Structure 1
Amino acid sequence: MIEESPFKQIGEVGHNTLLCVADHASNFVPEDIELGIDPKLLDTHIGVDIGTEGLVGRLARRHHIPAHIATVSRLVCDLHRTEDAPAVVPTSSDGHLITGNIGANVESRLNRFHRPYHTALEGMIQRVKPRMLLAIHSFTPKLATSDEDRPWEVALLYNQDDRAARHAIRLFGEQGLTVGDNEPYSGKQLNATMDRHAEARGIPYLTIEVRQDQITNEAGQSRWAMMIADIAGRVLLALDAG
């Protein structure tokens, strides 16, 4: 069996001002892993951040922002969790039991997917030396396990370092968008990749959650890639201005 890499890196890598990360861009499940779920679920938000692969691909190809992109489903190994998090190999998601992960060899999944992914990201950051990181995710307009609608078109998540997020919240709002401030998730609890690779290094970052219905097609992905690239550039200018 040819071992698949849990990541791919695209875009020209030099000394770029920005670097993009997409932890949940794929719904791929290796042939030797049986999740025990209806395969159709892999095309939903529990298997992949819908639209993010196309969005990040456009940021790399059209806006010259190199990207580190996951190539395995979050249901196989959630790369946006710490190694000791119970959900790093999830046994349930939005009301669905992931029976194949019950009793799974977590250490094997970490060695095969999680550790190579983050080691490669560390190496890319060292090569690129970005002034800011962009973490791109998408969220479903409504969870199956909740009656609450999610009205935000975009949200900014952050933990301790909110320098960049505060500027971006304002700038997205100026586009006429409803912007979530640490909604629908809180970066205080769910910020593992940026905690490790941005906050720990003192690198400013934007964790951007786009509602998935905004980026399900190429037109939406192109629109959001242009807007994110523009706003990220303006955030850098604001940070430089102090």
Structure 2
Amino acid sequence: MTPHEAFRLLGKPRFGGILVVSDHASNRVPEDIVLGIDPALLNQHIAVDLGVAGVGALLAERPGIAAFQGNISRLVCDLNREPHAPAVIPIASDGHAIPGNALDHAAHQARLERFHTPYHAALATLLDDSPPALVLSLHSFTPQLATSDEARPWQVAVLYNEDDRAARLAIPLLEAEGLCVGDQLPYSGKLLNYTMNRHCEAEGRPYLGIELRQDQIATVLQQAEWAGRLAKLCNEVALKLG
């Protein structure tokens, strides 16, 4: 696959293997784009799904597993949003204004064509050329919302829209390990599932939507533990689906 600034591919995709897709794996902002925000925000959840890049990279070191990762911050372009959604290039996020994203129509379209379009075109080609047995959609979520004191007890969440085949297999397997598992918690995959809706649900491809709580994958050791767990889980689910 030709390298592109919108995405990176780790490992070797294999027919009948596992493809890990992470739309929000990077906090990178290209040098020619000025968001006009405090740089510290780039290390927070509004800019990146903390921890998933490391987990995906470790998974991609295993035979039969590859990782397709977004290579720009979701503040530059949210690759998991419909191209016509207002928040695909957010002008505000979590109460923070993003003045550099107040674009006119032409600049807005150019941003989408630079990042969103090639990302999804490349993913579609990858899935067609090397159809996996299972797609793992990997994201992370915060231990609590900035606007709430209520903790989120779920260590891992399983999300889905209409196709819950893989979810129904994965949830009991995760619970059997003594984990606190959220079934459509802390939010529902029916609300925000664009990439999987487009590339999996619309095509009948089985996928597993996994969200890891950020404090579960904050260190390299934790990321390695979860990479091992997810590799085993995905292979079990893929075998049962097959």
1:170 is paired with a residue whose SS is helix
Which residue of 2 is the match for residue 10 of structure 1?
A: 10
Matched, 1:127 2:129: yes
Q: TM-score, normalised on structure 1?
A: 0.94
Q: Is contact 2:36–2:100 with CA below 8 Å preserved after alignment?
A: yes
Code of the residue aligned with 1:79 in structure 2: it is: L
Which residue of 1 is the match for residue 197 of structure 2?
A: 195
Distance 2:38 2:4 in 1: 23
Distance 2:135 2:4 in 1: 26
Which residue of 1 is the match for residue 44 of structure 2?
A: 44
1:9 is paired with a residue whose SS is strand
More off after superposition, 145-154 vs 118-127: 145-154
Q: How far 1:131 sits from its partner (Å)? A: 1.7
The equivalences for 1:53-72 within 5 A come to 53-72=53-72
Aligned match of 1:142 in 122, 144, 157? 144
Aligned match of 1:162 in 149, 159, 164? 164
Code of the residue aligned with 1:67 in structure 2: it is: A
Q: Is contact 2:15–2:133 with CA below 8 Å preserved after alignment?
A: no
Aligned-residue CA RMSD (Å): 1.4
Q: Is contact 2:51–2:218 with CA below 8 Å preserved after alignment?
A: yes
The equivalences for 1:31-110 within 5 A come to 31-103=31-103, 105-110=107-112
Code of the residue aligned with 1:5 in structure 2: it is: E
Q: Is contact 1:19–1:128 with CA below 8 Å preserved after alignment?
A: no
Q: Is contact 2:75–2:90 with CA below 8 Å preserved after alignment?
A: yes
Aligned match of 2:153 in 151, 161, 176? 151
Q: Tell me: CA distance 1:168–1:196, structure 2 relative to 1, closer, same or farther (3 Å).
A: same
Distance 1:59 1:128 in 2: 17
Q: How far 1:216 sits from its partner (Å)? A: 1.2
Which residue of 1 is the match for residue 224 of structure 2?
A: 222
More off after superposition, 68-77 vs 94-103: 94-103
Q: Tell me: CA distance 1:237–1:4, structure 2 relative to 1, closer, same or farther (3 Å).
A: closer
Structure 2: which 5+ residue stretches go unaligned?
none
1:66 is paired with a residue whose SS is strand
Q: Is contact 1:95–1:144 with CA below 8 Å preserved after alignment?
A: no
Which residue of 1 is the match for residue 240 of structure 2?
A: 238
Q: How far 1:75 sits from its partner (Å)? A: 0.3
2:12 is paired with a residue whose SS is coil
Code of the residue aligned with 1:80 in structure 2: it is: N
Code of the residue aligned with 1:46 in structure 2: it is: I
Distance 2:103 2:115 in 1: 17
Q: TM-score, normalised on structure 2?
A: 0.94
Q: How far 1:4 sits from its partner (Å)? A: 5.8
Deviations for 1:64-107, whole angstroms, at most 9, x for unmatched residues? 41111111000000000111111100122222221221235321
Code of the residue aligned with 1:55 in structure 2: it is: V
Give every structure 1 segment of 4 or more consecutive aligned residues whose post-TM-superposition deviation is greater than 4 Å.
none
Q: Is contact 2:17–2:64 with CA below 8 Å preserved after alignment?
A: no
Q: How far 1:63 sits from its partner (Å)? A: 5.0
Structure 1: which 5+ residue stretches go unaligned?
none
Q: Is contact 2:14–2:65 with CA below 8 Å preserved after alignment?
A: no
